[in-house]
Structure 1
Amino acid sequence: MPNERTAMMYFPDSTHASSLKVIQEPTSQIRGFYFKKSLLAEVEKLEHANNYAVYFLISDVDEPSIYIGQSIHGIKRLKEHLKQKDFWQFGILFVTDNNSFDKQLIDFLEYEFIQRFNASTYIVENRDMRINKPNVNWYIAAAMNTFAGQITFLLEALGVTIRQAKQVESYEGERTYYPAEKNHPATIYLHDGQFVITKGSTVLFPQEKLKHYKDEGKLYQKLQAKINQLIQANQAEPIDEKSARLTEDIVCPSPSYAADLCSGASKNGWEYWQGLREERERLG
């Protein structure tokens, strides 16, 4: 097969095989450490885990969210996040086994992956969205892009896919569109198991009452951050202070998340999108 690749997996403790693993391509110097938060201390004991690194802290509960960071001391930097950030359940740290990363390179990788995930289904938890691209010459940029490609493959192998809206726009088959309730100007369609809000749909900033929900305002904060993220990535344009219009298709992990974005409230997506429940029942 033309796109086949090979990755080696090492399990430091077979009793925690799903919670702690090391991944690396046979001919690459990039090594990835996957770990659940509870096993952070175990990663520090592993060879090369304290090298220069770029890392990802990830939550896949409800709406997927991610924090992208860099470290000159590898896994040691992440200890601070145990106190400062509580949203994540697992992390992935990337180093080189010969410690060939330097400050300029991890700075570029942090920037690059913030931009990639900013245009994905993930909510990016970074406060600094790194708008300005690091200034490097073409030779260094080419090497950095190669590293970014290798890390993207390893992320995919570990189950973290950077799903972008542009990946679904080229689909030319027939689609069934499901409109929002109450004539709200928004529709979705299904693509490869994902729920896609169509270009031109209106999304609403979250209602103030969400601040007082039993989740202590977490849904409010996530919706606010996501719409700001879409505007910042030029995937949406403001209409007024309460709404924005999508400038491209946006992939969502669930119909309810798509409904929350479009309504500015907490909604059951199977009910919000007209005809969607009937389609699910038809498909069994």
Structure 2
Amino acid sequence: MNDRTLMLYFPDTDSAASLKIFQDPTSQIRGFYFTKSQLNKVETLEYANNHAVYFLFSESEESSVYIGQSVNGITRIKSHLREKDFWQYGILFVTDNNSFDKLSIDYLEYFFIQAFAKTQYNLENRDMRTVAPNVNVFNQSTLNSFAVQIQFLLEAMGISFKPSAPTEQILRLNRDVFQAKSPFKASISLQDGKFLLLANSEIKAPLERTKDWSDGGNFYTRSMKRFTQLIEAGKAVKIDESTAKLIDDVEFNSPSTPAELCSGHSQNGWVFWIGLDELRKKQG
């Protein structure tokens, strides 16, 4: 049996779902869960301005996360309201006695960038921290212990570190697989309400003409960033300058985003994936 206890505190019962403090009673590590609208309230809470590692999450078209560190806790995150608009909620970790120092939060940021790169989350970080901080063996043991505790707390808040089932397992389970319309070479599968773009699917850089769309080039910028990130994270390998092949399955919250990624153009995902709309109507 491997049970654990978690304490929850709600600073404002009228906002219980959007602001909460949580902590393992045997640990000094304290977590703050908050939505954007609650950011100013978090700043007034005890310990929220200590040295911290934090996570900004989005669950819109696809699940994504930004991982950062701060020597002054929640205050640093306020700048992300101006710099980053993708996230809907954040989770901040500090210690009650402020025992995290600059080296601690630097290592924890590195650790979790590597950890999330192996999951289905899209990393919003520009710097993928491929080089580990210079930590001696004694400090590393302590910092890894901190990381394990934080991972448990994240999982307790519903953040999964498990990758989706590989394509071979999906096929063995005889799940429905939907092919992209011609001439695109890609396929998706449904899994637990998510849309899984399968390994060996070809993805495309956005078409040049999308730079001139009325959205001010937002589609082009967003799509190019996603295309590049998948290659840099080792989840896809380049075929040529505008095409790459996935080597891992990638999870999305809607069928349209993977359709756009595979075509380089705006798409109705329900129509792009052959048979998917028919399944929706049948289940509808």
Same fold (TM > 0.5): yes
Query: Secondary structure of 2:79's match?
Result: helix
**Alignment-derived partner of residue 16 in structure 1:** 15
2:126 and 2:135 map into 1 onto residues whose CA distance is 24
Q: Larger deviation: 188-197 or 2-11?
A: 2-11
1:127 and 1:69 map into 2 onto residues whose CA distance is 11
1:79 and 1:111 map into 2 onto residues whose CA distance is 21
Q: Larger deviation: 86-95 or 266-275?
A: 86-95
**Alignment-derived partner of residue 58 in structure 2:** 59
Give the CA deviation at 1:260: 1.4
Task: Label 1:42 to 1:199 Cα distance change in 2 as closer, same or farther (>3 A).
Answer: same
Query: Secondary structure of 1:48's match?
Result: coil
What are the superposed Cα offsets for residues 222-268 of structure 1, whole Å, 9 maximum, x if unpaired? 22122211111211110111110111222222211211111111211
Q: Larger deviation: 175-184 or 148-157?
A: 148-157
CA root-mean-square deviation: 2.3
Contact 2:166/2:249 (8 A) holds in 1: no
**Alignment-derived partner of residue 50 in structure 1:** 49
Query: Secondary structure of 2:160's match?
Result: coil
Task: Label 1:249 to 1:107 Cα distance change in 2 as closer, same or farther (>3 A).
Answer: same
2:220 and 2:144 map into 1 onto residues whose CA distance is 35
* Count of residue pairs the alignment pairs up: 283
**Alignment-derived partner of residue 158 in structure 1:** 157
Task: Label 1:191 to 1:62 Cα distance change in 2 as closer, same or farther (>3 A).
Answer: closer
**Alignment-derived partner of residue 188 in structure 2:** 188
Give the CA deviation at 1:138: 3.8
Mind listing any 5+ residue stretches in structure 2 that lack a counterpart?
A: none
One-letter amino acid of the structure 2 residue matched with residue 180 of structure 1: A
Task: Label 1:61 to 1:173 Cα distance change in 2 as closer, same or farther (>3 A).
Answer: closer
2:62 and 2:70 map into 1 onto residues whose CA distance is 26
Give the CA deviation at 1:19: 1.9
1:32 and 1:258 map into 2 onto residues whose CA distance is 33
Q: Larger deviation: 114-123 or 53-62?
A: 114-123
**Alignment-derived partner of residue 143 in structure 1:** 142
1:112 and 1:3 map into 2 onto residues whose CA distance is 24
Identity level (%):
52
Q: Larger deviation: 186-195 or 116-125?
A: 116-125
**Alignment-derived partner of residue 97 in structure 1:** 96
One-letter amino acid of the structure 2 residue matched with residue 81 of structure 1: H
**Alignment-derived partner of residue 281 in structure 2:** 281
**Alignment-derived partner of residue 256 in structure 1:** 256
Contact 1:119/1:165 (8 A) holds in 2: no
Mind listing any 5+ residue stretches in structure 1 that lack a counterpart?
A: none
Query: Secondary structure of 2:120's match?
Result: coil
